[in-house]
C-alpha cells in the first residue's frame, strides 16, 4: 500500500486516541471524593496498612481506614486479595492517601503503555483500544489493578517470543492476583514444560509470601472473605455465566461445561494467540466474581482477532465487545443481556473458526508483530 495512505490512517487513529485520553482526563479532574466512595484503591490502601495484622480480612478494620481517608464508603468493604498483594501495597500505604491514589493511577497508565508497546499488534490500534476502553477507564477511575493483567500478558508473550519460557511462566504467575479470571490458563501449558515450571514456581513463591507476611492462619480468613456474599451482590450486571444464569448456580455450571469444552478444543487445534484469546474469553465467562474493569481482558482478545488470519466473525464480535458501544447501550432495560450473550457466542465462534487445523498460521508468525490493516 502507498505510504501516504497508511500515514493518514495512523494519524487519524492517533487523533481519535488522543480525544479519548483527553475525555478521560477531564472526567478524572472533575471527580470529587464523594464520587469515589465505591473505589477499590481505598480497600487496597487499607490492605497495605493491615498486612501482617489479624485484621487484614476484617471488614470493620478496612472500613475504618477507608472512611478515614475518603470520608465515605460503599459496600463491599473487604480486602479479598492474597496476602502478597497486601504486602505490595504496603509502600503505597506509607504515603498520604490522595498522592498515593494518583501515583497508583500513574502506575496503571504505565502498565497500559508497556502493554501497548509490547503486544503483537499495531501500536496505534493498541493505543486506540486502550484509550476508548470503558473498562480500562473505569479501572483507572476507581484504582482497580486490572491494567496490570495486560502488562503481565504482554510481558509473558514477549518472553515467549524470545524463547524464555521459564521467565514467561514466572510473569504469568502474577495473574494470581485475579486467579478467578485465569482458571483455564493451564490449557496453554502442554508442550511448554518450562513455562509450566515457571508458573508453578512463581505461584508457590507468592503463596509462600502469604505465610511469611501474614502467618499460618491467613488461608481460612481469605476463604471466608472471598465467600462473603457482599462482594457478589448482583449478578445481573456481570458479563459472565453467573449473570447469564441470573444467579442460578445449576444453570451456571451447565453453561460452563460447553464453554470449557470449546476452550479445550481451541487450545488443542489453534496457535498460541487464538488459544490465549479463547482462555481469556472463557475465563471471563466462568469467573463467578467480576468487576467492570476486568473486561479489559477483551482488549488483547480484540487486538489479536482483528489481525489474525483465521478470525472472521469472531473478529467482529471481539471488536464490538471491546468497544464503548458494548457498555454505552447497557442503560436500556435488559440491555446487559446482549454483551454477555455475545461473549458466550464468541467462544463458540472461535471453536468453529479453528476447525480447519491445516489453515492455522505457524506459531512463529503469530508471535510476530502484526502489520497494520490494509485498506
What is 161-223 written as a DSSP string? HTT-HHHHHHHHGGGGGGGGG-TTGGGG-TT-HHHHHHHHHHHHHHHHHHHHHH-TTHHHHHH
CA distance 199 to 96: 35
pLDDT in tens, the chain (375 residues): 343 448 788 889 999 999 999 999 999 888 888 888 878 999 999 999 999 999 999 988 999 998 888 887 776 788 999 999 999 999 999 999 999 999 999 999 999 999 999 999 999 999 999 999 999 999 999 999 999 999 999 999 999 999 999 999 999 999 999 999 999 999 999 999 999 999 999 999 999 999 999 998 899 999 888 887 666 666 677 889 998 888 888 999 999 999 999 999 999 999 999 999 999 999 999 998 888 899 999 999 999 999 999 899 999 999 999 999 888 765 555 666 888 899 999 999 999 999 864 444 444 444 444 443 332
For 61-93, b where at least 16 C-beta lie within 10 A, e where not — what string? bbbbbbeebbeebeebbbbbbbbbbbbbbeebb
pLDDT the model gives residue 72 = 79
CA distance 47 to 119: 31
pLDDT the model gives residue 334 = 60
pLDDT the model gives residue 375 = 27
CA distance 171 to 157: 10
pLDDT the model gives residue 333 = 53
pLDDT the model gives residue 4 = 43
End-to-end CA distance of the chain: 8
Contact residues for 184 (Cβ-Cβ < 8 A; gap 6+): 260, 263, 279, 282, 283, 286
Give residue for cell 463491599: 76
- For the whole prediction, is pTM greater than 0.85? yes
CA distance 220 to 56: 12
Q: Which of 308, 331, 330 is nearest to 318 (CA)?
A: 308
pLDDT the model gives residue 308 = 93
Q: What Cα–Cα distance (Å) separates residue 349 from each residue in 45, 85, 133, 262, 316?
A: 41, 36, 23, 9, 11
Amino acid at each position: 500500500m502507498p505510504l501516504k495512505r497508511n500515514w493518514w490512517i495512523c494519524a487519524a487513529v492517533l487523533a481519535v486516541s488522543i480525544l479519548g485520553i483527553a475525555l478521560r482526563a477531564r472526567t478524572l479532574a472533575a471527580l470529587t471524593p464523594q464520587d469515589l466512595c465505591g473505589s477499590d484503591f481505598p480497600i487496597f490502601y487499607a490492605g497495605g496498612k493491615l498486612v501482617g495484622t489479624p485484621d487484614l480480612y476484617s471488614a470493620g478494620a478496612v472500613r475504618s481506614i477507608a472512611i478515614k481517608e475518603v470520608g465515605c464508603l460503599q459496600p463491599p468493604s473487604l480486602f479479598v486479595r492474597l496476602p502478597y498483594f497486601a504486602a505490595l501495597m504496603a509502600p503505597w500505604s506509607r504515603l498520604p492517601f490522595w498522592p498515593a491514589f494518583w501515583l497508583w493511577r500513574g502506575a496503571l497508565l504505565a502498565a497500559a503503555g508497556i502493554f501497548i508497546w509490547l503486544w503483537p499488534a499495531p501500536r496505534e490500534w493498541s493505543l486506540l483500544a486502550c484509550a476508548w476502553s470503558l473498562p480500562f477507564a473505569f479501572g483507572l477511575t476507581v484504582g482497580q489493578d486490572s491494567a496490570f493483567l495486560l502488562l503481565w500478558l504482554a510481558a509473558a508473550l514477549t518472553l515467549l517470543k524470545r524463547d524464555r519460557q521459564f521467565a514467561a511462566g514466572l510473569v504469568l504467575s502474577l495473574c494470581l492476583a485475579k486467579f478467578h479470571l485465569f482458571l483455564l490458563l493451564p490449557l496453554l501449558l502442554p508442550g511448554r514444560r518450562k513455562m509450566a515450571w515457571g508458573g508453578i514456581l512463581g505461584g508457590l513463591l507468592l503463596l509462600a509470601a502469604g505465610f511469611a507476611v501474614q502467618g499460618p492462619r491467613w488461608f481460612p480468613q481469605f476463604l471466608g472473605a472471598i465467600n462473603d456474599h457482599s462482594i457478589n451482590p448482583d449478578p445481573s450486571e456481570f458479563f459472565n455465566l453467573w449473570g447469564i444464569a441470573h444467579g442460578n448456580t445449576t444453570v451456571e455450571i451447565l453453561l460452563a461445561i460447553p464453554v470449557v469444552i470449546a476452550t479445550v478444543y481451541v487450545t488443542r487445534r489453534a496457535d498460541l494467540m487464538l488459544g490465549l484469546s479463547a482462555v481469556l474469553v472463557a475465563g471471563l465467562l466462568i469467573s463467578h466474581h467480576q468487576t467492570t474493569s476486568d473486561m479489559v481482558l477483551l482488549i488483547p482478545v480484540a487486538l489479536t482477532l482483528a489481525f489474525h488470519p483465521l478470525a472472521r466473525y469472531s473478529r467482529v464480535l471481539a471488536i464490538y465487545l471491546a468497544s464503548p458501544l458494548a457498555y454505552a447501550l447497557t442503560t436500556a432495560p435488559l440491555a446487559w443481556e446482549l454483551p454477555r450473550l455475545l461473549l458466550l457466542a464468541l467462544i463458540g465462534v472461535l471453536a468453529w473458526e479453528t476447525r480447519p487445523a491445516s489453515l492455522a498460521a505457524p506459531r512463529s508468525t503469530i508471535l510476530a508483530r502484526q502489520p497494520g490493516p490494509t485498506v
